[in-house]
Structures are given as structure tokens and as C-alpha cells.
Amino acid sequence: MGTDLEVLRPRGRGRPTLYNAAYCDRVLELAAEGCCKAEIAAALHVSVKTLTAWTKAHEEFRDAMTRAKELEYAWWLAAGRKGQFMRTWNASGWALQMRNRFRKRFRDKLPPLREENPEDSVNAEQLRDEMERKLSRIADAGAEGGIPLATDAKGAEKPAV
């Protein structure tokens, strides 16, 4: 074959992207109104999966989506702050929205889990054994007549205090 063949550059595969740099401004506008990622995707007429792909592929879009999350959070905080003075405001509905939209920031703080030490279970067994010994001594002394017994309302005998 000859060396005079034309070298073609490889063609891109698949459909061309719908991404437009102007989407960054639109994302910020929507987030400033409290819109979440799904609502932003719907407004841009794309899927959430496409937004995620654009976030990975375009640095300016990634920055816009990061700022958008902050704007969304600020909008919802302001909605709660303003709503608390309204008579018809639903505080539990707002709190549920916040917990679901912003799990990492807005959640009920659980107390740290206490890990059980093996020493704790040993101490519990020692206490149990000691209590059983004391109870058996009381029962033995009561049976020998050393401790006067009283009867309760049901007729059961117990040591008089």
C-alpha cells in the first residue's frame, strides 16, 4: 500500500452531548428557588443520570452543582425560618423535608453507641452470684426460724423488715 493514503481522525461515537455551558447559570437559578437535583434535571429536560455524567465530565458544571446544593439548603432554611411565624405552617413536614433532602446536615443526633466491655459482663455475673448467695442465706435463715417471716396480702411469706 502506498504512503499517500489520507489519515482520517477517529469519529466520536454515540449521540452528541446536550450539554451547554449556559446550564450552569440555570442550575444556580433553580437551586436558589429550593429545587433539588431531580427538579433541576426535569427543568433542563434531561435525566438525573445525565446530570451526574455532566458533573463528572465538566468542571464548571460540577462547581455549579456544588454551589447549587448550598443554595438549595439556604432556601429551605429560609423557608423554615419564615414559615415558623405563619399560623398554617407545618413544622413536622418541613423537618421531614430537611431530614430527607439533607441527611448529613439535618438529622436527629443519636447518642454514641456504648460498646460493651467483657469486664461489664463479668461484673454482672459476679453481682448475680453474690445476690444469689445472699438470697439463699436469707432463705436458709428464714427456714431455720432465725428471721421472723411476715405474710403479705396474697399469703406469701417474706422476711419482716
Residues 83 and 36 in one domain: yes
17-41 confidence digits (pLDDT tens): 788 889 999 999 999 999 999 999 9
Both 27 and 97 in a single domain? Answer: yes
Model pTM score: 0.57
Top mean-pLDDT range of 42-46, 115-119, 122-126, 156-160 = 42-46
Q: Identify whether 14 is part of a domain.
A: no
- Contact between 126 and 101 under an 8 Å Cβ cutoff? The reply is no
Instruction: Work out how many domains the chain is built from and give that number.
Output: 2
Classify residue 9: in a domain, yes or no: no
pLDDT above 60 for 131 = yes
* Structural domain for 151, as ranges: 121-159
Q: Alpha-carbon distance 65 to 30, whole Å?
A: 11
